[in-house]
Structure 1
Protein backbone atom coordinates (compact mmCIF):
# COMPACT_ATOMS: atom_id res chain seq x y z
CA UNK A 1 0.00 0.00 0.00
CA UNK A 2 1.26 3.48 -0.90
CA UNK A 3 2.34 5.72 1.95
CA UNK A 4 0.02 8.55 2.98
CA UNK A 5 0.89 11.70 1.09
CA UNK A 6 1.92 14.72 3.13
CA UNK A 7 1.24 17.75 0.92
CA UNK A 8 2.90 21.07 1.68
CA UNK A 9 -0.33 22.81 2.70
CA UNK A 10 -3.81 22.22 4.06
CA UNK A 11 -6.59 24.79 4.26
CA UNK A 12 -8.01 25.51 7.72
CA UNK A 13 -8.94 28.47 9.91
CA UNK A 14 -9.71 30.43 6.76
CA UNK A 15 -6.36 30.07 4.97
CA UNK A 16 -3.39 27.94 3.98
CA UNK A 17 -1.57 26.19 6.82
CA UNK A 18 1.59 24.11 6.68
CA UNK A 19 0.80 20.39 6.86
CA UNK A 20 2.85 19.86 10.02
CA UNK A 21 1.03 22.75 11.76
CA UNK A 22 -2.52 21.49 11.09
CA UNK A 23 -4.04 20.67 14.50
CA UNK A 24 -7.39 19.97 16.15
CA UNK A 25 -7.72 20.37 19.90
CA UNK A 26 -7.99 17.13 21.85
CA UNK A 27 -11.20 18.37 23.51
CA UNK A 28 -13.18 19.19 20.37
CA UNK A 29 -16.12 17.01 19.36
CA UNK A 30 -14.43 15.97 16.13
CA UNK A 31 -11.86 14.20 18.30
CA UNK A 32 -13.97 13.05 21.25
CA UNK A 33 -17.04 11.95 19.25
CA UNK A 34 -15.77 11.67 15.68
CA UNK A 35 -18.10 14.50 14.66
CA UNK A 36 -17.24 15.55 11.13
CA UNK A 37 -18.68 15.34 7.63
CA UNK A 38 -16.90 15.44 4.31
CA UNK A 39 -16.97 15.36 0.54
CA UNK A 40 -14.32 14.08 -1.84
CA UNK A 41 -13.96 16.06 -5.07
CA UNK A 42 -11.85 15.01 -8.05
CA UNK A 43 -9.92 17.37 -10.32
CA UNK A 44 -8.85 16.42 -13.85
CA UNK A 45 -6.52 17.97 -16.42
CA UNK A 46 -8.42 18.91 -19.58
CA UNK A 47 -7.36 18.75 -23.26
CA UNK A 48 -6.92 22.54 -23.42
CA UNK A 49 -4.43 22.50 -20.54
CA UNK A 50 -6.87 23.71 -17.91
CA UNK A 51 -7.64 21.91 -14.63
CA UNK A 52 -11.28 21.27 -13.76
CA UNK A 53 -13.19 20.02 -10.72
CA UNK A 54 -16.00 17.53 -11.24
CA UNK A 55 -19.55 18.29 -10.00
CA UNK A 56 -18.38 20.91 -7.50
CA UNK A 57 -21.87 22.38 -6.96
CA UNK A 58 -23.42 18.97 -6.35
CA UNK A 59 -20.76 18.09 -3.79
CA UNK A 60 -21.31 21.42 -2.05
CA UNK A 61 -25.06 20.78 -1.90
CA UNK A 62 -24.56 17.30 -0.43
CA UNK A 63 -22.14 18.66 2.18
CA UNK A 64 -24.75 21.24 3.17
CA UNK A 65 -27.37 18.51 3.53
CA UNK A 66 -25.08 16.42 5.73
CA UNK A 67 -24.37 19.47 7.90
CA UNK A 68 -28.07 20.17 8.31
CA UNK A 69 -28.88 16.59 9.30
CA UNK A 70 -26.12 16.52 11.94
CA UNK A 71 -26.88 20.05 13.21
CA UNK A 72 -23.43 21.30 12.25
CA UNK A 73 -23.30 25.00 11.32
CA UNK A 74 -21.92 25.59 7.83
CA UNK A 75 -21.89 29.28 7.03
CA UNK A 76 -19.94 29.21 3.76
CA UNK A 77 -21.78 29.95 0.54
CA UNK A 78 -20.76 28.30 -2.71
CA UNK A 79 -18.42 31.11 -3.76
CA UNK A 80 -16.54 30.98 -0.45
CA UNK A 81 -16.39 27.19 -0.59
CA UNK A 82 -15.02 27.12 -4.13
CA UNK A 83 -12.56 29.95 -3.43
CA UNK A 84 -11.05 27.95 -0.56
CA UNK A 85 -10.69 24.91 -2.82
CA UNK A 86 -9.13 27.01 -5.58
CA UNK A 87 -6.60 28.49 -3.14
CA UNK A 88 -5.38 25.12 -1.91
CA UNK A 89 -5.37 23.34 -5.25
CA UNK A 90 -3.56 26.22 -6.99
CA UNK A 91 -0.82 25.91 -4.38
CA UNK A 92 -0.48 22.14 -4.81
CA UNK A 93 -1.43 21.21 -8.38
CA UNK A 94 1.16 19.43 -10.56
CA UNK A 95 1.05 19.39 -14.39
CA UNK A 96 1.31 15.61 -14.78
CA UNK A 97 -1.15 14.42 -12.11
CA UNK A 98 -4.82 14.69 -11.24
CA UNK A 99 -5.94 15.53 -7.70
CA UNK A 100 -8.52 14.47 -5.12
CA UNK A 101 -9.53 16.99 -2.49
CA UNK A 102 -11.20 16.09 0.81
CA UNK A 103 -13.41 18.90 2.09
CA UNK A 104 -14.11 18.19 5.76
CA UNK A 105 -16.30 20.11 8.18
CA UNK A 106 -14.91 19.50 11.67
CA UNK A 107 -16.77 20.44 14.85
CA UNK A 108 -14.11 22.42 16.71
CA UNK A 109 -16.22 23.93 19.51
CA UNK A 110 -19.39 23.03 21.36
CA UNK A 111 -20.78 20.29 23.55
CA UNK A 112 -23.65 17.91 22.76
CA UNK A 113 -25.08 20.22 20.13
CA UNK A 114 -24.80 23.46 22.12
CA UNK A 115 -22.63 26.39 21.01
CA UNK A 116 -21.40 24.36 18.07
CA UNK A 117 -18.79 25.86 15.77
CA UNK A 118 -17.24 24.18 12.75
CA UNK A 119 -14.18 24.74 10.61
CA UNK A 120 -13.84 23.88 6.93
CA UNK A 121 -10.60 21.93 6.50
CA UNK A 122 -9.32 20.98 3.06
CA UNK A 123 -6.65 18.45 2.20
CA UNK A 124 -5.63 17.49 -1.33
CA UNK A 125 -3.70 14.55 -2.74
CA UNK A 126 -2.17 13.83 -6.12
CA UNK A 127 -3.26 10.91 -8.26
CA UNK A 128 -1.87 9.34 -11.41
CA UNK A 129 -3.97 9.62 -14.55
CA UNK A 130 -4.11 5.83 -14.99
CA UNK A 131 -7.51 4.12 -15.02
CA UNK A 132 -8.40 2.19 -11.85
CA UNK A 133 -7.52 -1.49 -11.97
CA UNK A 134 -10.29 -4.13 -11.70
CA UNK A 135 -10.97 -5.31 -8.16
CA UNK A 136 -12.08 -8.49 -6.43
CA UNK A 137 -15.00 -8.34 -4.01
CA UNK A 138 -16.33 -10.43 -1.17
CA UNK A 139 -19.46 -10.03 0.93
CA UNK A 140 -18.70 -8.61 4.34
CA UNK A 141 -19.98 -9.91 7.64
CA UNK A 142 -20.22 -6.25 8.73
CA UNK A 143 -23.51 -4.54 7.91
CA UNK A 144 -24.57 -1.00 7.20
CA UNK A 145 -26.63 0.65 9.94
CA UNK A 146 -30.17 1.80 9.23
CA UNK A 147 -31.62 5.26 8.73
CA UNK A 148 -32.63 5.33 12.41
CA UNK A 149 -29.07 4.84 13.70
CA UNK A 150 -26.29 6.17 11.42
CA UNK A 151 -28.06 7.28 8.22
CA UNK A 152 -26.09 6.54 5.06
CA UNK A 153 -27.54 9.74 3.62
CA UNK A 154 -25.15 11.67 5.87
CA UNK A 155 -21.60 11.54 4.53
CA UNK A 156 -20.14 11.50 8.02
CA UNK A 157 -16.70 10.21 8.92
CA UNK A 158 -18.31 8.06 11.64
CA UNK A 159 -20.26 6.19 8.96
CA UNK A 160 -17.00 4.73 7.68
CA UNK A 161 -16.16 2.74 10.79
CA UNK A 162 -17.96 -0.31 9.39
CA UNK A 163 -16.24 0.29 6.06
CA UNK A 164 -12.88 0.20 7.78
CA UNK A 165 -13.75 -3.11 9.43
CA UNK A 166 -14.89 -4.49 6.07
CA UNK A 167 -11.65 -3.43 4.39
CA UNK A 168 -9.64 -5.20 7.08
CA UNK A 169 -11.80 -8.28 6.51
CA UNK A 170 -11.14 -8.05 2.77
CA UNK A 171 -7.38 -7.95 3.24
CA UNK A 172 -7.54 -10.97 5.54
CA UNK A 173 -9.27 -12.88 2.72
CA UNK A 174 -6.92 -11.68 -0.02
CA UNK A 175 -9.59 -9.48 -1.61
CA UNK A 176 -9.60 -5.83 -2.63
CA UNK A 177 -12.92 -4.72 -1.18
CA UNK A 178 -16.20 -5.88 0.32
CA UNK A 179 -19.89 -5.51 -0.42
CA UNK A 180 -21.76 -4.23 2.62
CA UNK A 181 -25.24 -5.61 3.29
CA UNK A 182 -27.93 -3.62 5.08
CA UNK A 183 -29.79 -4.69 8.21
CA UNK A 184 -32.30 -6.63 6.08
CA UNK A 185 -29.50 -8.66 4.49
CA UNK A 186 -29.79 -6.98 1.08
CA UNK A 187 -27.00 -5.24 -0.84
CA UNK A 188 -26.20 -1.69 0.26
CA UNK A 189 -22.89 -0.68 -1.32
CA UNK A 190 -19.17 -1.42 -1.38
CA UNK A 191 -17.09 -0.16 1.54
CA UNK A 192 -16.57 3.30 0.02
CA UNK A 193 -18.49 3.27 -3.25
CA UNK A 194 -21.82 2.57 -4.89
CA UNK A 195 -22.34 -0.82 -6.47
CA UNK A 196 -23.80 -1.36 -9.95
CA UNK A 197 -24.90 -4.69 -11.37
CA UNK A 198 -25.97 -5.94 -14.79
CA UNK A 199 -28.43 -8.81 -15.06
CA UNK A 200 -30.29 -9.74 -18.24
CA UNK A 201 -29.44 -6.49 -19.96
CA UNK A 202 -30.54 -4.20 -17.12
CA UNK A 203 -28.24 -2.05 -14.95
CA UNK A 204 -29.34 -1.95 -11.30
CA UNK A 205 -28.13 -0.16 -8.19
CA UNK A 206 -29.71 -0.04 -4.71
CA UNK A 207 -31.75 3.08 -3.85
CA UNK A 208 -30.93 5.29 -0.87
CA UNK A 209 -33.59 3.50 1.18
CA UNK A 210 -31.30 0.43 1.22
CA UNK A 211 -28.75 2.16 3.53
CA UNK A 212 -26.85 3.53 0.58
CA UNK A 213 -25.20 6.93 0.21
CA UNK A 214 -26.95 9.15 -2.33
CA UNK A 215 -24.18 8.65 -4.86
CA UNK A 216 -23.39 11.40 -7.36
CA UNK A 217 -21.43 8.91 -9.44
CA UNK A 218 -24.43 6.57 -9.65
CA UNK A 219 -26.58 9.54 -10.66
CA UNK A 220 -24.13 10.35 -13.43
CA UNK A 221 -23.99 6.73 -14.58
CA UNK A 222 -27.79 6.73 -14.79
CA UNK A 223 -27.64 9.70 -17.15
CA UNK A 224 -24.94 8.03 -19.25
CA UNK A 225 -27.06 4.87 -19.41
CA UNK A 226 -30.08 6.85 -20.58
CA UNK A 227 -27.95 8.44 -23.31
CA UNK A 228 -27.00 4.95 -24.48
CA UNK A 229 -30.57 3.68 -24.38
CA UNK A 230 -29.74 1.30 -21.54
CA UNK A 231 -32.30 0.41 -18.92
CA UNK A 232 -31.19 1.63 -15.47
CA UNK A 233 -33.08 0.68 -12.32
CA UNK A 234 -32.83 1.61 -8.65
CA UNK A 235 -34.14 -1.37 -6.75
CA UNK A 236 -33.31 -3.68 -3.84
CA UNK A 237 -30.67 -6.26 -4.74
CA UNK A 238 -30.44 -9.61 -2.99
CA UNK A 239 -27.09 -11.00 -1.96
CA UNK A 240 -27.45 -14.04 -4.22
CA UNK A 241 -28.01 -11.84 -7.27
CA UNK A 242 -24.40 -10.73 -7.04
CA UNK A 243 -23.31 -14.34 -7.45
CA UNK A 244 -25.17 -14.68 -10.77
CA UNK A 245 -24.61 -11.15 -12.11
CA UNK A 246 -23.40 -10.65 -15.67
CA UNK A 247 -21.32 -7.59 -14.74
CA UNK A 248 -20.42 -5.66 -11.61
CA UNK A 249 -18.70 -2.34 -10.97
CA UNK A 250 -18.22 0.03 -8.08
CA UNK A 251 -18.50 3.77 -8.53
CA UNK A 252 -17.55 6.86 -6.56
CA UNK A 253 -15.62 10.10 -6.89
CA UNK A 254 -12.38 8.46 -5.81
CA UNK A 255 -13.07 5.02 -7.32
CA UNK A 256 -14.52 6.57 -10.50
CA UNK A 257 -15.97 3.50 -12.26
CA UNK A 258 -13.95 0.46 -11.23
CA UNK A 259 -14.78 -2.89 -12.83
CA UNK A 260 -15.17 -5.95 -10.62
CA UNK A 261 -13.12 -8.89 -11.84
CA UNK A 262 -14.40 -11.39 -9.26
CA UNK A 263 -17.12 -11.75 -6.67
CA UNK A 264 -15.95 -14.38 -4.25
CA UNK A 265 -14.45 -17.14 -6.40
CA UNK A 266 -16.52 -16.30 -9.49
CA UNK A 267 -14.66 -14.39 -12.19
CA UNK A 268 -16.32 -11.68 -14.27
CA UNK A 269 -15.45 -10.02 -17.57
CA UNK A 270 -14.26 -6.44 -17.16
CA UNK A 271 -13.36 -5.13 -20.62
CA UNK A 272 -16.68 -5.66 -22.45
CA UNK A 273 -20.35 -5.08 -21.71
CA UNK A 274 -22.64 -2.28 -20.61
CA UNK A 275 -20.65 -1.13 -17.58
CA UNK A 276 -17.43 -1.10 -19.62
CA UNK A 277 -19.16 1.20 -22.11
CA UNK A 278 -20.36 3.52 -19.33
CA UNK A 279 -16.85 3.56 -17.92
CA UNK A 280 -15.48 4.76 -21.28
CA UNK A 281 -18.19 7.41 -21.50
CA UNK A 282 -17.45 8.51 -17.94
CA UNK A 283 -13.76 9.15 -18.55
CA UNK A 284 -14.46 10.81 -21.91
CA UNK A 285 -16.65 13.26 -20.01
CA UNK A 286 -14.55 14.02 -16.93
CA UNK A 287 -11.41 14.49 -19.00
CA UNK A 288 -13.17 16.94 -21.29
CA UNK A 289 -13.15 14.92 -24.51
CA UNK A 290 -16.94 14.56 -24.52
CA UNK A 291 -18.46 16.93 -21.94
CA UNK A 292 -21.77 15.95 -20.36
CA UNK A 293 -24.28 18.49 -18.97
CA UNK A 294 -24.83 16.51 -15.75
CA UNK A 295 -21.13 16.32 -14.89
CA UNK A 296 -20.38 20.03 -14.61
CA UNK A 297 -16.68 20.87 -14.79
CA UNK A 298 -15.51 23.94 -12.87
CA UNK A 299 -12.20 25.25 -14.16
CA UNK A 300 -9.52 26.15 -11.65
CA UNK A 301 -8.52 29.80 -12.31
CA UNK A 302 -5.01 30.76 -13.39
CA UNK A 303 -3.69 27.22 -13.75
CA UNK A 304 -2.45 25.54 -16.91
CA UNK A 305 -0.41 22.49 -17.72
Structure 2
Protein backbone atom coordinates (compact mmCIF):
# COMPACT_ATOMS: atom_id res chain seq x y z
CA UNK A 1 0.00 0.00 0.00
CA UNK A 2 1.27 3.47 -0.89
CA UNK A 3 2.50 5.40 2.14
CA UNK A 4 1.10 8.90 2.66
CA UNK A 5 3.73 11.52 3.42
CA UNK A 6 2.16 13.92 5.93
CA UNK A 7 3.31 17.52 6.13
CA UNK A 8 5.07 18.72 9.27
CA UNK A 9 4.58 22.50 9.34
CA UNK A 10 7.01 24.78 11.17
CA UNK A 11 4.35 26.52 13.24
CA UNK A 12 0.86 26.23 14.72
CA UNK A 13 -1.41 28.46 16.77
CA UNK A 14 -2.21 27.24 20.28
CA UNK A 15 -2.65 28.77 23.70
CA UNK A 16 -3.18 32.22 22.24
CA UNK A 17 0.03 32.49 20.22
CA UNK A 18 2.02 31.13 17.30
CA UNK A 19 4.37 28.38 18.44
CA UNK A 20 6.82 25.90 16.94
CA UNK A 21 5.05 22.76 15.74
CA UNK A 22 6.72 20.62 18.41
CA UNK A 23 4.98 22.61 21.18
CA UNK A 24 1.52 21.60 20.01
CA UNK A 25 0.77 19.16 22.82
CA UNK A 26 -2.32 18.36 24.89
CA UNK A 27 -2.66 16.35 28.09
CA UNK A 28 -3.67 12.71 27.76
CA UNK A 29 -6.47 13.26 30.26
CA UNK A 30 -8.16 16.08 28.31
CA UNK A 31 -11.67 15.43 27.01
CA UNK A 32 -10.37 16.11 23.51
CA UNK A 33 -8.36 12.89 23.91
CA UNK A 34 -10.57 10.81 26.19
CA UNK A 35 -13.85 11.51 24.38
CA UNK A 36 -12.71 13.05 21.11
CA UNK A 37 -14.48 16.25 22.14
CA UNK A 38 -13.85 19.05 19.68
CA UNK A 39 -15.42 21.06 16.88
CA UNK A 40 -13.52 22.37 13.91
CA UNK A 41 -13.57 24.16 10.58
CA UNK A 42 -11.43 23.72 7.51
CA UNK A 43 -10.69 27.02 5.76
CA UNK A 44 -8.92 27.55 2.45
CA UNK A 45 -6.56 30.28 1.32
CA UNK A 46 -5.89 30.98 -2.36
CA UNK A 47 -3.50 33.13 -4.32
CA UNK A 48 -5.62 35.76 -6.05
CA UNK A 49 -5.31 37.01 -9.60
CA UNK A 50 -3.95 40.36 -8.38
CA UNK A 51 -1.10 38.70 -6.48
CA UNK A 52 -2.68 38.84 -3.02
CA UNK A 53 -3.31 35.83 -0.82
CA UNK A 54 -6.79 35.53 0.67
CA UNK A 55 -8.79 33.19 2.90
CA UNK A 56 -12.24 32.66 1.43
CA UNK A 57 -15.56 32.59 3.32
CA UNK A 58 -13.80 32.94 6.67
CA UNK A 59 -16.63 34.61 8.56
CA UNK A 60 -19.11 31.94 7.45
CA UNK A 61 -16.75 29.28 8.81
CA UNK A 62 -16.54 31.13 12.10
CA UNK A 63 -20.33 31.24 12.33
CA UNK A 64 -20.59 27.50 11.70
CA UNK A 65 -17.87 26.85 14.29
CA UNK A 66 -20.00 28.76 16.80
CA UNK A 67 -23.06 26.68 15.90
CA UNK A 68 -21.14 23.40 16.33
CA UNK A 69 -19.72 24.58 19.65
CA UNK A 70 -23.18 25.54 20.91
CA UNK A 71 -24.63 22.15 20.02
CA UNK A 72 -21.82 20.32 21.88
CA UNK A 73 -21.86 22.77 24.82
CA UNK A 74 -18.27 23.87 24.18
CA UNK A 75 -17.51 27.48 25.15
CA UNK A 76 -16.15 29.63 22.32
CA UNK A 77 -15.21 33.04 23.75
CA UNK A 78 -13.15 34.06 20.70
CA UNK A 79 -14.63 36.89 18.68
CA UNK A 80 -14.62 36.75 14.91
CA UNK A 81 -11.83 39.34 14.88
CA UNK A 82 -9.67 37.18 17.17
CA UNK A 83 -10.40 34.09 15.09
CA UNK A 84 -9.60 35.97 11.88
CA UNK A 85 -6.36 37.44 13.20
CA UNK A 86 -5.14 34.09 14.55
CA UNK A 87 -5.91 32.27 11.29
CA UNK A 88 -4.41 35.00 9.10
CA UNK A 89 -1.42 35.28 11.41
CA UNK A 90 -0.52 31.61 11.18
CA UNK A 91 -0.98 31.51 7.42
CA UNK A 92 1.15 34.64 7.06
CA UNK A 93 4.10 32.87 8.68
CA UNK A 94 3.85 29.91 6.31
CA UNK A 95 2.50 31.12 2.98
CA UNK A 96 4.62 30.25 -0.07
CA UNK A 97 4.44 31.64 -3.61
CA UNK A 98 2.53 29.38 -5.96
CA UNK A 99 0.98 27.19 -3.26
CA UNK A 100 -2.47 27.47 -1.70
CA UNK A 101 -3.16 26.59 1.93
CA UNK A 102 -5.77 24.73 3.96
CA UNK A 103 -6.08 25.39 7.68
CA UNK A 104 -7.89 23.41 10.35
CA UNK A 105 -9.25 25.68 13.08
CA UNK A 106 -10.22 23.53 16.05
CA UNK A 107 -11.78 24.10 19.47
CA UNK A 108 -10.17 21.37 21.59
CA UNK A 109 -11.68 20.69 25.02
CA UNK A 110 -8.74 20.85 27.41
CA UNK A 111 -10.56 20.84 30.75
CA UNK A 112 -13.86 19.58 32.10
CA UNK A 113 -15.79 16.42 32.80
CA UNK A 114 -19.04 15.39 31.09
CA UNK A 115 -20.01 19.00 30.41
CA UNK A 116 -18.99 20.37 33.80
CA UNK A 117 -16.29 23.04 33.89
CA UNK A 118 -15.64 22.78 30.15
CA UNK A 119 -12.71 24.81 28.84
CA UNK A 120 -11.56 24.87 25.22
CA UNK A 121 -8.51 26.11 23.37
CA UNK A 122 -8.41 27.42 19.82
CA UNK A 123 -5.80 25.43 17.91
CA UNK A 124 -4.95 26.15 14.27
CA UNK A 125 -2.79 24.09 11.96
CA UNK A 126 -2.12 24.93 8.31
CA UNK A 127 -0.90 22.92 5.34
CA UNK A 128 0.22 23.72 1.81
CA UNK A 129 -1.63 22.53 -1.28
CA UNK A 130 -0.82 22.61 -4.95
CA UNK A 131 -2.63 25.08 -7.19
CA UNK A 132 -4.65 22.71 -9.35
CA UNK A 133 -8.19 21.71 -10.13
CA UNK A 134 -8.93 18.31 -8.53
CA UNK A 135 -8.58 15.27 -10.74
CA UNK A 136 -11.81 13.29 -11.37
CA UNK A 137 -12.27 10.60 -8.74
CA UNK A 138 -13.71 7.11 -8.51
CA UNK A 139 -16.62 6.93 -6.09
CA UNK A 140 -18.33 4.01 -4.37
CA UNK A 141 -21.24 3.31 -2.01
CA UNK A 142 -20.29 2.43 1.55
CA UNK A 143 -21.96 -0.07 3.85
CA UNK A 144 -21.53 2.46 6.67
CA UNK A 145 -24.26 5.02 7.42
CA UNK A 146 -24.56 8.62 8.46
CA UNK A 147 -25.98 8.78 12.01
CA UNK A 148 -29.41 10.24 12.66
CA UNK A 149 -29.91 13.73 14.13
CA UNK A 150 -30.86 12.18 17.48
CA UNK A 151 -27.65 10.10 17.53
CA UNK A 152 -24.92 12.45 16.31
CA UNK A 153 -26.23 15.45 14.35
CA UNK A 154 -24.56 15.90 10.97
CA UNK A 155 -24.67 19.68 11.38
CA UNK A 156 -22.09 19.42 14.18
CA UNK A 157 -18.69 19.58 12.53
CA UNK A 158 -16.80 17.46 15.05
CA UNK A 159 -14.11 14.84 14.61
CA UNK A 160 -16.37 12.18 16.13
CA UNK A 161 -18.77 12.73 13.22
CA UNK A 162 -16.07 11.53 10.85
CA UNK A 163 -15.56 8.07 12.34
CA UNK A 164 -18.04 6.48 9.94
CA UNK A 165 -16.38 8.39 7.13
CA UNK A 166 -12.99 7.02 8.14
CA UNK A 167 -14.34 3.48 8.04
CA UNK A 168 -15.92 4.19 4.67
CA UNK A 169 -12.61 5.45 3.26
CA UNK A 170 -10.86 2.29 4.47
CA UNK A 171 -13.60 0.23 2.86
CA UNK A 172 -13.30 2.22 -0.36
CA UNK A 173 -9.55 1.82 -0.70
CA UNK A 174 -9.99 -1.96 -0.88
CA UNK A 175 -12.32 -1.37 -3.86
CA UNK A 176 -10.15 1.18 -5.63
CA UNK A 177 -12.33 4.16 -4.66
CA UNK A 178 -10.88 7.34 -3.18
CA UNK A 179 -14.24 8.51 -1.82
CA UNK A 180 -17.40 6.78 -0.63
CA UNK A 181 -21.03 7.80 -0.23
CA UNK A 182 -22.80 7.08 3.05
CA UNK A 183 -26.55 6.53 3.15
CA UNK A 184 -28.69 7.66 6.06
CA UNK A 185 -30.86 5.47 8.28
CA UNK A 186 -33.68 5.66 5.67
CA UNK A 187 -31.30 4.30 2.98
CA UNK A 188 -31.25 7.61 1.14
CA UNK A 189 -28.11 9.54 0.21
CA UNK A 190 -26.51 11.46 3.08
CA UNK A 191 -23.14 12.67 1.89
CA UNK A 192 -19.68 11.37 1.05
CA UNK A 193 -17.12 10.68 3.77
CA UNK A 194 -15.85 14.25 3.65
CA UNK A 195 -17.92 16.19 1.12
CA UNK A 196 -21.41 16.89 -0.16
CA UNK A 197 -22.90 15.13 -3.19
CA UNK A 198 -24.07 16.86 -6.36
CA UNK A 199 -25.86 15.09 -9.20
CA UNK A 200 -27.42 16.36 -12.41
CA UNK A 201 -30.65 14.98 -13.84
CA UNK A 202 -32.36 16.52 -16.85
CA UNK A 203 -30.37 19.74 -16.54
CA UNK A 204 -31.05 20.30 -12.83
CA UNK A 205 -28.40 20.15 -10.11
CA UNK A 206 -29.68 18.14 -7.14
CA UNK A 207 -28.20 17.68 -3.67
CA UNK A 208 -29.55 16.14 -0.44
CA UNK A 209 -30.86 18.47 2.25
CA UNK A 210 -29.26 18.81 5.67
CA UNK A 211 -32.20 16.81 7.07
CA UNK A 212 -30.90 13.82 5.07
CA UNK A 213 -27.63 13.73 7.00
CA UNK A 214 -25.52 16.16 4.98
CA UNK A 215 -23.35 18.79 6.61
CA UNK A 216 -24.65 22.35 6.25
CA UNK A 217 -21.92 23.00 3.72
CA UNK A 218 -20.51 26.46 3.06
CA UNK A 219 -18.93 25.35 -0.21
CA UNK A 220 -22.26 23.89 -1.29
CA UNK A 221 -23.92 27.25 -0.58
CA UNK A 222 -21.28 28.91 -2.76
CA UNK A 223 -21.83 26.46 -5.62
CA UNK A 224 -25.59 27.00 -5.39
CA UNK A 225 -25.11 30.77 -5.52
CA UNK A 226 -22.91 30.41 -8.61
CA UNK A 227 -25.42 28.08 -10.26
CA UNK A 228 -28.26 30.52 -9.73
CA UNK A 229 -26.19 33.37 -11.17
CA UNK A 230 -25.86 31.28 -14.35
CA UNK A 231 -29.57 30.40 -14.37
CA UNK A 232 -28.83 26.72 -13.68
CA UNK A 233 -31.70 25.06 -11.75
CA UNK A 234 -30.52 23.93 -8.31
CA UNK A 235 -32.69 21.81 -5.99
CA UNK A 236 -32.15 20.48 -2.48
CA UNK A 237 -34.26 17.38 -1.86
CA UNK A 238 -33.97 13.74 -0.75
CA UNK A 239 -31.92 11.64 -3.16
CA UNK A 240 -32.52 7.90 -3.53
CA UNK A 241 -29.52 5.63 -3.96
CA UNK A 242 -30.71 4.44 -7.39
CA UNK A 243 -30.63 8.03 -8.66
CA UNK A 244 -26.86 7.95 -8.36
CA UNK A 245 -26.73 5.14 -10.92
CA UNK A 246 -28.74 7.05 -13.51
CA UNK A 247 -27.35 10.55 -12.90
CA UNK A 248 -26.16 12.44 -16.00
CA UNK A 249 -23.32 14.07 -14.04
CA UNK A 250 -21.91 13.79 -10.53
CA UNK A 251 -19.49 15.71 -8.31
CA UNK A 252 -18.48 16.22 -4.70
CA UNK A 253 -17.91 19.58 -3.06
CA UNK A 254 -16.37 20.81 0.18
CA UNK A 255 -13.67 23.17 1.40
CA UNK A 256 -10.89 20.59 1.12
CA UNK A 257 -12.04 18.71 -1.99
CA UNK A 258 -13.37 21.96 -3.53
CA UNK A 259 -15.44 20.82 -6.55
CA UNK A 260 -14.33 17.39 -7.77
CA UNK A 261 -15.99 15.68 -10.72
CA UNK A 262 -16.72 11.95 -10.51
CA UNK A 263 -14.95 9.69 -12.98
CA UNK A 264 -16.94 6.56 -12.06
CA UNK A 265 -19.54 5.49 -9.53
CA UNK A 266 -19.67 1.88 -8.35
CA UNK A 267 -17.54 0.90 -11.33
CA UNK A 268 -19.83 2.60 -13.86
CA UNK A 269 -18.07 5.40 -15.78
CA UNK A 270 -19.58 8.85 -16.03
CA UNK A 271 -19.10 11.00 -19.15
CA UNK A 272 -15.73 12.70 -19.36
CA UNK A 273 -17.58 15.83 -20.45
CA UNK A 274 -19.86 17.04 -17.67
CA UNK A 275 -21.09 20.37 -19.06
CA UNK A 276 -23.08 21.63 -16.07
CA UNK A 277 -20.90 20.57 -13.14
CA UNK A 278 -17.78 21.25 -15.20
CA UNK A 279 -19.01 24.82 -15.71
CA UNK A 280 -19.70 25.22 -12.00
CA UNK A 281 -16.28 23.80 -11.14
CA UNK A 282 -14.53 26.30 -13.41
CA UNK A 283 -16.65 29.17 -12.10
CA UNK A 284 -15.91 28.22 -8.49
CA UNK A 285 -12.15 28.34 -9.05
CA UNK A 286 -12.45 31.61 -10.95
CA UNK A 287 -14.37 33.04 -7.99
CA UNK A 288 -12.05 31.92 -5.17
CA UNK A 289 -9.07 33.30 -7.12
CA UNK A 290 -10.98 36.49 -7.97
CA UNK A 291 -10.48 35.88 -11.70
CA UNK A 292 -14.24 36.34 -12.05
CA UNK A 293 -15.38 37.50 -8.61
CA UNK A 294 -18.74 36.35 -7.26
CA UNK A 295 -20.55 38.35 -4.56
CA UNK A 296 -21.07 35.26 -2.37
CA UNK A 297 -17.36 34.43 -2.15
CA UNK A 298 -15.43 36.98 -0.13
CA UNK A 299 -11.74 36.75 0.78
CA UNK A 300 -9.86 38.03 3.83
CA UNK A 301 -6.39 39.21 2.76
CA UNK A 302 -3.29 37.72 4.37
CA UNK A 303 -0.10 39.78 4.46
CA UNK A 304 2.93 37.46 4.34
CA UNK A 305 5.47 38.23 7.02
CA UNK A 306 8.05 36.84 9.40
CA UNK A 307 6.84 34.93 12.43
CA UNK A 308 8.01 37.57 14.92
CA UNK A 309 6.18 40.32 13.04
CA UNK A 310 3.04 38.18 12.96
CA UNK A 311 3.30 37.24 16.63
CA UNK A 312 3.40 40.90 17.56
CA UNK A 313 0.45 41.70 15.30
CA UNK A 314 -1.71 38.85 16.66
CA UNK A 315 -0.95 39.64 20.30
CA UNK A 316 -1.50 43.39 19.89
**Distance in 2 (alpha carbons) for counterparts of 1:93 and 1:201:** 40
- CA RMSD, 1 decimal: 0.9
Q: Aligned residue for 1:282?
A: 284
**Distance in 2 (alpha carbons) for counterparts of 1:216 and 1:88:** 22
Q: How does 1:1-305 map to 2 (within 5 A)?
A: 2-302=4-304
Structure 1 stretches of at least 4 aligned residues deviating more than 6 Å after TM superposition: none
Q: Aligned residue for 2:314?
A: none
**Distance in 1 (alpha carbons) for counterparts of 2:304 and 2:94:** 13
Q: Aligned residue for 2:312?
A: none
**Distance in 1 (alpha carbons) for counterparts of 2:289 and 2:193:** 26
| Contact kept? 1:29, 1:107, Cα under 8 Å | yes
Normalised TM-score (structure 2):
0.94
Using the TM superposition, give the Cα deviation of residue 201 of structure 1 relative to its aligned residue in structure 2, in angstroms: 1.0
Using the TM superposition, give the Cα deviation of residue 232 of structure 1 relative to its aligned residue in structure 2, in angstroms: 0.4
SS at match of 1:126: strand
How many residues were matched structurally? 303
Using the TM superposition, give the Cα deviation of residue 96 of structure 1 relative to its aligned residue in structure 2, in angstroms: 1.6
Gaps of 5+ in 1: none
SS at match of 2:63: helix
| Contact kept? 1:250, 1:260, Cα under 8 Å | yes
SS at match of 1:95: coil
Using the TM superposition, give the Cα deviation of residue 175 of structure 1 relative to its aligned residue in structure 2, in angstroms: 1.1
Tell me which moved more, 271-280 or 160-169: 271-280
Normalised TM-score (structure 1):
0.98
SS at match of 1:120: strand
SS at match of 2:36: coil
Q: Aligned residue for 2:311?
A: none
| Contact kept? 1:259, 1:270, Cα under 8 Å | no
Using the TM superposition, give the Cα deviation of residue 301 of structure 1 relative to its aligned residue in structure 2, in angstroms: 3.0
Per-residue CA deviations over 1:118-146 (Å, capped at 9, x if unaligned) read 00000000000011110011100000000
Evaluate the alpha carbon distance shift between residue 112 and residue 245 of structure 1 in structure 2; reply closer, same or farther with a 3 A threshold. same
SS at match of 2:281: helix
Gaps of 5+ in 2: 306-316
